[in-house]
Amino acid sequence: MSGSPRICSLLPSATEILADLGLTGRLVGRSAECDWPPAVSSLPVVTAARLDTLELASAEIDGAVRAALAEGRSLYALDQQLIEELAPDVIVTQDLCTVCAVSSGEVRAICDLDAEVISLDPHTIEEIEQTVLQLAHHFDVAKRGRQVVQRMQETIATASRAVTDLRPRRVVVLEWLDPPFLAGHWLPEIVAAAGGIDLLGQAGRPSRASTWDEVLDAEPELVVLAPCGFDAARTTNEADRLGLPTRFAAAGVASFAVDANAYFSRPSPRVADGVAQLAGLFHPRPAAPHALQHALLRLGSR
């Protein structure tokens, strides 16, 4: 795309990708969930979740989301007037998950704009890389896109080489806690690249509801708690509320909370850092990266 198009990003992962491509200056609007890099916090918020989940427990969030979807209610409010005032040339959103952001259909139905709508819907690490290249090509920064993807691939390859000759750890990753949801999409790939085997997750497929009996019957060595949208501290608080440290300790299973919001839930370049973090968790080394020390919390260690 020639010129300097004005971009609204309704998707946190897209905002991260655009920033990595050097396009932060072209952003004119964002969703309330777009919080990285910090510089985007000054942008106008054009969409936000209708449900304030900050003080809600996992089960309450799950119940509210299910009720809204059953009634056909959108989970997000779109500020049509503000978007029209911002007059973007391009709006970037997704159709992968009805819970994660405004869909492209909703944008087209609500906004009477002469703007191009781009939907990003990756299911795997390779497809995440392809979305980087897609946006880079679209905004005429193809070289920068190749550089971003190369950094991702090098980070993942370095982590994988460090654990390639070590015994894979038996792992269960959970994308939600109450009820527990098993990992899907790119998360089982992250586990494999980090030197683990996700015993219950399905790569490239949506996450699915499970039970604690199914989780423990799989006999994992480690359980990684990565609830979508939560950081490590909030995940640890929720795990404590549910009594998970005691449950896992009784089963002889190590359990860790990760910053899913930053490194695992979003299909952005930072999933490569997630691979490096899990590689250090599965196969600890004396000189763990500084980022690893702050991104993981062992349950029951406080």
The position carrying tokens 């015993």 is 199
pLDDT at 291 over 70: no
Residue with the bigger pLDDT between 110 and 8: it is 8
Average pLDDT over residues 234-253: 94
Cis link prior to 286 (omega < 30° from 0)? no
Binning pLDDT at 50, 70 and 90, where does residue 275 land? very high
Say which range, 57-61, 215-219, 231-235, has the weakest mean pLDDT. Answer: 57-61
Judge if 116 and 173 occupy the same domain. no
Look over the chain and give the mean of its residue pLDDT values, rounded to a whole number.
87
The percent of residues in the chain predicted with pLDDT above 90, rounded, is 70
Residue with the bigger pLDDT between 28 and 113: it is 28
Residues 94 and 104: beta-carbon distance below 8 Å: yes
273 token code pair: 């850092």
Judge if 15 and 111 occupy the same domain. yes
* Residue 144 falls inside a structural domain: no
Average pLDDT over residues 64-74: 67
* Residue 220 falls inside a structural domain: yes
* Residue 58 falls inside a structural domain: yes
Query: Is the torsion defined by CA of 92, 15, 13, 260 positive or negative?
Result: negative
- What range does the domain containing 103 cover? 7-126
Q: How many domains are contained in the chain?
A: 2
Which amino acid would we find at residue 151? R
Judge if 192 and 94 occupy the same domain. no
In this predicted structure, what is the pLDDT of residue 97?
Answer: 55
Residues pairing with 118 in the sheet = 92
Q: How crowded is the C-beta side of 195, counted as CA atoms within 13 Å?
A: 20
Average pLDDT over residues 29-56: 86
Q: Please state the φ and ψ torsions of residue 182, each to the nearest 5 degrees.
A: -80, 150
* Residue 212 falls inside a structural domain: yes
* Residue 272 falls inside a structural domain: yes
Its pTM stands at: 0.89
* Structure confidence by residue, pLDDT tens digits, 165-199: 999 999 999 999 999 999 999 999 999 999 999 99
Q: Is residue 260 helix, strand or coil?
A: helix
Q: CA-to-CA distance for 172 and 138, rounded, in angstroms? A: 38
* Residue 46 falls inside a structural domain: yes
